Amino acid sequence: MGNRRHLVSLSDVDDQELAELVRRGVAFANGGRTGKPLADKVLGVYFRKTSTRTRTAFSTAALRLGAGLVSYGPGDLQLNTGETVEDTGKVLSRMLDGLVLRTAGPTEELRELAAQESMSVVNAMSAHEHPTQALADLTTLSRHFGRIDGLRVLYVGEGNSTAVALALALTRFAGAQLHLRTPEGYGLDPEVLVAAKSYAAQSGGVIDEKHQMSDLPVGFDVVYTTRWQTTGSAKPDPDWRQAFEPFQVNAQVMASSPRAVFMHDLPAHRGEEVTAEVLDGPRSIAFDQAENKLHSAMAVLEWCVRG
């Protein structure tokens, strides 16, 4: 059982492991699955918050890899009656080979669950980071462009868990650039920005963050946004929409990078963070990106549970 791995944060994964996870995601997308490598495993899927893509991707991935599946809803476990995370982890780790978990809580909670070697723990989105989203994003980039090195990505919107994961992942690839435009007060966690800048310095890449949409650079390969109201969270400022309105991705933003594709982690609210013209237009690969959640989930489960 000692070969079990956890995916709690992308900061725990080295460059070689990150590249291998992306490579395997692409391989699964291209039909590279052979046999049922998890046929003797049982996985738990526990989502406290709503999910369409991630929950379906991991459930389908587990079944396609041959694993048995136990699904828990937000009210199913005794965590709701006061049982500790530590005790829950001790019990589940004696019965499950892996647990895929979405929580609105801190990443430290997942680390408590991962404090054992018999059950892999996969972060399917915490309040701080969404690592499996970034792996789907990188799989999408690799499939579409045939590379990740040297790509220039513009991220527009809140510095949320998706942005955190993207910053910790894309900056590991040679010459890749990530330019974030976030509303004032809604940027990346400063510690994440420091870590991402360190990765970029080693890879020869670039990461920067500004809080206005004026003077945008041109010639991006990708324009990326997420919904303004992050799943499972609320904003303390009742007038937050006023701060976000200038950060909509529309035809004007896309025109500044005429060769760029558009990405969105979904769900989308047309008319808010993105116009329907962009999301449903010919340059959008958002729904290819959603499909790639399945392929990257298969790569994650293979890497974590099979070892």
Q: Which domains does the chain have, with CATH numbers?
A: 10-130+293-306 (3.40.50.1370), 133-289 (3.40.50.1370)
Q: What is the mean pLDDT of residues 160-167?
A: 97
**How many CA atoms lie less than 13 Å away from 290 in the CB half-sphere?**
16
Please identify which residue in the block is written with the tokens 């801190």: 106
Residue 159 near residue 180 (C-beta atoms within 8 A): yes
Query: Residue 225: what pLDDT?
Result: 98
Kind of pairing between the strands at 222-225 and 68-72:
unpaired
pTM here is: 0.95
SS3 258: coil
Helix (H/G/I), strand (E/B), else coil: 176: coil
At 256 the pLDDT is 95
The predicted pLDDT at position 231 comes to: 61
- Whether residue 2 is predicted with pLDDT greater than 70 in this model: the reply is no
Per-residue pLDDT tens over the stretch 131-148: 999 999 999 999 999 999
Residue 117: band (very low, low, confident or very high) from pLDDT cuts 50, 70, 90: confident
Query: Does the pLDDT at position 1 exceed 70?
Result: no
- Res 89: pLDDT: 92
Confidence at residue 237, expressed as pLDDT on a 0 to 100 scale: 87
**CA separation for the pair 170, 115 (Å, rounded):** 28
pLDDT 10s digits, 170-209 = 999 999 999 999 999 999 999 999 999 999 999 999 999 9
Half-sphere exposure of 285 (CA within 13 A, CB side): 23
Half-sphere exposure of 264 toward its Cβ, with a 13 Å CA cutoff? Answer: 26
Residue 233 has pLDDT above 70, yes or no: no
What's the pLDDT at 76?
Answer: 93
**Strand ranges inside 73-205, DSSP E:** 98-102, 120-123, 152-156, 177-181
Residue 35 or 280, more confident: 280
What distance in Å separates the CA atoms of residue 267 and residue 231, rounded to the nearest whole number?
9
Decide: helix, strand or coil at residue 112: helix
H/E element, 113: helix 107-113
Confidence band for 232, pLDDT divided at 50, 70 and 90:
low
Sheet holding 68-72, edge to edge: 68-72, 42-47, 98-102, 120-123
